[in-house]
Structure 1
């Protein structure tokens, strides 16, 4: 079986969508039934796909596309050039690693898509207006044109059914979790932290979007410092791609005079992320909504204690040892209390990976899904 995976995406540094595409390709390449995996990327993604994701299988071929990295340029390429490239490469199935606009009749084989979340409908402020209307249209068009859809969680599947009623009567739907392995590979500190390797830190990993509530984490961290609930030398390290909230987050840090205490990082390779997960005193994820949340799973896989918001997706994917806090009533006070308690009564640093997230499990589920469509 030959699987073609378009992962051509805007960021010039690794993101969750890119990691999903890379993990999907690596997992499929390890299956005997799969003879070839072709991964389509933008020219600006070549470096981190070639060197950052460990795509070592001889079955995987990276095809880079040299186009203008703009919204118009990418979406035009998806609509007109992707089907031409796919039909020339003759895969048995095309698996879109994220929703993108396409016309099904222009492809000679089945097309499936991974649905990560329903943010364009559930959290339009992540995109702003009128941009969110285009995001909604792209998502709508992809969902309706695909031959089948894989959702990264039960929570995402339920959201899909809410916004697209009776979709399960029209095409195959599956819940197939993102794959996560206990990465015991190389571990190196980010360059900016090389001189501070022995300093304690709390870690957050999330793109700068409204639903991630990073401002809440910053305020809680500030209160913990002011009230001597944490060591004054403890840093807060926030890893994530810039987004709509970047400016306001930096303004908040400046207003609280925390420039020397909070470090913003982005685009880290796996070795540096591994080091952060392994060394962090605590991992905090205060999101209002998520489709899956790969960083939380990666933190658990590294044995890092976790504090997270009390929302359905985290109960679905997180370890039973997580410290939950309520976002509805006095969220700031609740987060402060949860962090303080987690530091006083830390869980053992024992790696936790749900077997449903293991690569051999998810890869087999994808193969079964593909066979269903091909038959």
Structure 2
């Protein structure tokens, strides 16, 4: 079985979408029935997939596409060249790792898609005008043309049902969680912090991530001497629409020496941060899945999360939750203090919902349905 994973995106450094595609490839690498995995990337992505995501397997072949990294060029390539490449490489199935525009009738084999979230519909401000319109359109085209659809959470599945009820009934999409496996990753200290305690957040600079709330809560705790003044706040994530606003907020609160932004870390460096943070905070207003939360759970971090359905679905009873109603900054700062007052021994946990072997079995069953045409 030859699976082609489409991971070509705009990101020139590690991001959540890219990490999903890399993890998918490494997951499929464990399946005996899959003999070959082709990972299609932009030429600007090859280096960090190999080095930061540690793609190193005889079974996984990286196919770099040398085009201009712009939305127009990428989308034209998806529509016109991806079907041709699929035929040339003789793939048995194409898995697009995020919504792209394509037309199924051009492809020589089944095409399945993973839907991570419905931000273009639920949070159009993440993209701005007119970008959100195109993202909505590409999502519509993708879900309508895909033979099969996987969602990364029950919450995302419910949003699919809400926005596309007919497609939900016709294609019976399934939920397959993202997995976490750092078993073979040797942690390495990044060059962004000295030997000082720190609070960690991992999120893109988007409005729904509520990073401004975290900065304000952190500043309040420092000001009130409720946490040690040497404690840093590290925010790992790619820049976005909220970047300038966050930088201005940090400046207004005189936290320039205390808040550290980083946008490009390898898996070993990320592991080190999870292993050594005082606590991990996820203050999001909405999420499709939140892989960083699963990673934090994997390392048994002390965790503070906003009280929203998806984070409750993923985190269960292993997190301290705060309300996004009322005095939100106060709610978050109180939850952080509560987390500090709890003592938790860090050790790797193994929630079977996110276990690599279980996820691999689910993908194999999912692919077989479309390759064999048997949907019993």
Question: TM > 0.5 between the two?
Answer: yes
Out of 223, 226, 238, the position equivalent to 1:241 is 238
8 Å CA contact 1:300, 1:319 repeated in 2:
no
**Which runs of structure 2 are paired with 1:336-347 in the superposition (5 Å)?**
336-347=333-344
Unaligned stretches of 5+ residues in structure 1: none
SS in structure 1 of the partner of residue 272 of structure 2: helix
| Residues in 1 aligned to 2:265 and 2:217: alpha-carbon distance in whole angstroms | 25
SS in structure 1 of the partner of residue 226 of structure 2: coil
What is the Cα deviation at residue 25 of structure 1?
0.8
Out of 271, 281, 285, the position equivalent to 1:284 is 281
8 Å CA contact 1:181, 1:353 repeated in 2:
no
Deviations 1:149-207 (A, max 9, x none): 000011110011011113232113110000112445211121232xx1x2000001000
SS in structure 2 of the partner of residue 166 of structure 1: helix
8 Å CA contact 2:2, 2:34 repeated in 1:
yes
CA 1:331–1:239: 2 relative to 1, 3 Å = same
8 Å CA contact 1:182, 1:351 repeated in 2:
no
Between 1:92-101 and 1:294-303, the stretch displaced more is 294-303
Are 1:365 and 2:347 an aligned pair? no
Question: What is the aligned length?
Answer: 372
Q: 1:189: which partner in 2?
A: 189
Q: 2:203: which partner in 1?
A: 206
Q: 2:352: which partner in 1?
A: 355
8 Å CA contact 1:183, 1:302 repeated in 2:
no
| Residues in 2 aligned to 1:86 and 1:208: alpha-carbon distance in whole angstroms | 34
| Residues in 1 aligned to 2:158 and 2:48: alpha-carbon distance in whole angstroms | 33
8 Å CA contact 2:52, 2:267 repeated in 1:
yes
| Residues in 1 aligned to 2:2 and 2:172: alpha-carbon distance in whole angstroms | 20
Q: 1:308: which partner in 2?
A: 305
| Residues in 2 aligned to 1:132 and 1:261: alpha-carbon distance in whole angstroms | 34
What is the Cα deviation at residue 119 of structure 1?
0.4
SS in structure 2 of the partner of residue 63 of structure 1: strand
**Which runs of structure 2 are paired with 1:33-112 in the superposition (5 Å)?**
33-112=33-112
Are 1:231 and 2:228 an aligned pair? yes
SS in structure 1 of the partner of residue 343 of structure 2: coil
What is the Cα deviation at residue 350 of structure 1?
3.3
Deviations 1:341-367 (A, max 9, x none): 111123332333320111111111111
8 Å CA contact 2:160, 2:168 repeated in 1:
no
Taking structure 1 as the reference length, the TM-score comes to 0.97
SS in structure 2 of the partner of residue 192 of structure 1: coil
Q: 2:168: which partner in 1?
A: 168
What is the Cα deviation at residue 102 of structure 1?
0.4
Deviations 1:211-267 (A, max 9, x none): 000000000000000111100100000100000000000000001110000100011
8 Å CA contact 2:192, 2:260 repeated in 1:
no
| Residues in 2 aligned to 1:104 and 1:111: alpha-carbon distance in whole angstroms | 7
| Residues in 2 aligned to 1:248 and 1:132: alpha-carbon distance in whole angstroms | 20
CA 1:182–1:353: 2 relative to 1, 3 Å = farther
What is the Cα deviation at residue 76 of structure 1?
0.9
8 Å CA contact 1:101, 1:138 repeated in 2:
yes
What is the Cα deviation at residue 319 of structure 1?
4.6
8 Å CA contact 2:203, 2:235 repeated in 1:
yes
Deviations 1:85-117 (A, max 9, x none): 111111110000110000111100000000000
**Deviation beyond 6 Å, 4+ runs, structure 1:** none
Unaligned stretches of 5+ residues in structure 2: none
Are 1:153 and 2:150 an aligned pair? no
Out of 255, 259, 262, the position equivalent to 2:256 is 259
| Residues in 2 aligned to 1:291 and 1:72: alpha-carbon distance in whole angstroms | 26
| Residues in 2 aligned to 1:340 and 1:190: alpha-carbon distance in whole angstroms | 26
